[in-house]
Structure 1
Amino acid sequence: MHEIETSLYLGSLQDADNERLIRKTGIKNIVQVLDNPTYNKRFKGIKYYYVRLRDEEDENLIDELPDAIYFINRQILKGEKVLVHCVAGVSRSPAIVIAYLMAKHNIFYEEAYGFVKSKRDFIQPNLGFEKQLIEYGYQRLEEYL
């Protein structure tokens, strides 16, 4: 698990299932970006938000962004920490975090991608997600904050 910026973390399903790590880090919110939600590891006092998204290039990422960006932003504004994760923390969850940063900081995909990669160097959103975020741009994402 990696801290991307204050109160925003990016990780894997293994990280999200590690109660000791979640408690030690002070995370209060977990955004699951998965084909199907996992209910086997739910921790008391943690708010879960689910984004149904397959790691496929033809998957529609943009439709999932308004509510995901709003949820992340709302929790951080309340002073709470948020972990965004998928199975490996390589494609789906980084795409959501990159979109959030694009909206929050009014930056283009390339800058947001570079920033996240500097914190978690093995990210690689699939080409379909990348293309959608480049085409959509921060101007249309910032309205979701």
Structure 2
Amino acid sequence: MSFLSELVKKKDKLKVTDTVVTKIDGQRYVERGGDAKNVEKLTPCYGFVVDTKPDNVPVLVIDNLYIGSQDCASDSVIDVNNIKHVLSLGVNVYVNVNHKYIDCLDLPETDIKCVLREGIPFIKEAVDKKENILIHCNAGVSRTSMMAIGYLMHCENMQFEDAYILVKEKRPAVQPNDGFRKQLMALNPGQVI
């Protein structure tokens, strides 16, 4: 008996299931009984979390360096925290202070070296002047933490793990994606850019 015939026998004994399929455009459908032709369309589901409540409290990581979500990049939050500079990663906002936007996708395959090379000097200039700066992305989780950790590694000569722990203690929601994390871990303190 061939391996293929054994597989066919085993396949026939498998329990019939329904599979929910979500396409890249958010369209969803159910394949009934494993039959790709027997489908039921469902309500679309977007490939991102819909933000239903504001996250507008920036967190001070070290003197003059704040991190947060895009909700923190509002005039009222900027005024209350005396923020003079805003670094936006992947989410461009309009603010009435010194602002820098860096295009950066929150994908593991994004090369962070050029992002860090462009962002760290902007942060360092603000911190050296003892002026508050806010680093933000959409949710203040992955790109924001990547930049803050990269800054701490380069300008404060911190090891990755120490920088990560510091940022995580200040804002527990932070979590650089796996690709960002691996790239940061490969960098040497003081030699990030």
- TM-score under structure 1 normalisation? 0.89
Partner of 1:42 in structure 2? 95
Partner secondary structure for residue 94 of structure 1 = helix
1:111 and 2:162 matched: yes
Q: 1:139, CA displacement in angstroms?
A: 3.8
Deviation by residue 1:41-85 (Cα, 9 ceiling, x = unmatched): 322xx0001111000000011111122111100111112110000
Partner of 1:23: 79
Aligned-residue identity in percent: 32
Q: Which amino acid aligns with 1:12?
A: S
Superposed displacement of residue 15, structure 1: 0.9
Please state how far the C-alpha of 1:19 moved relative to its aligned partner: 1.1
What is the deviation of 1:123? Answer: 0.5
Alignment partner of 1:79 is 2:130: yes
Q: How does 1:56-67 map to 2 (within 5 A)?
A: 56-67=107-118
Q: Which has the bigger relative contact order, CA under 8 A and spacing at least 6?
A: 1
SS at match of 1:49: strand
Aligned residues: 136
- Higher CA-based Rg: 2
Q: 2:120 matched to 1:69?
A: yes
- Residue 27 of structure 1 and its aligned partner are, at CA, apart by 0.2
Task: Report what 2:191 is aligned to.
Answer: 140
Q: Which residue pairs with 1:127 in the alignment?
A: 178
Is the 8 Å Cα contact of residues 156 and 190 (structure 2) preserved in structure 1? no
1:10 equivalent in alignment to 2:47: no
Q: Extract structure 1 runs of 4+ deviating beyond 3 A.
A: none
- TM-score, length basis structure 2: 0.68
Which digits, 9 at most, give the CA deviation of each residue in 1:87-121, with x for residues without a partner? 00000011000000011221111110000001001
The one-letter code matched in structure 1 to 2:145 is P
SS in 2 for 1:50: strand
Query: Residues of 2 paired with 1:79 and 1:5: CA distance?
Result: 11
Flag structure 1 segments of 5+ consecutive residues without an equivalent: none
Bigger share in helix: 1
Q: One-letter code of the match for 1:86?
A: C
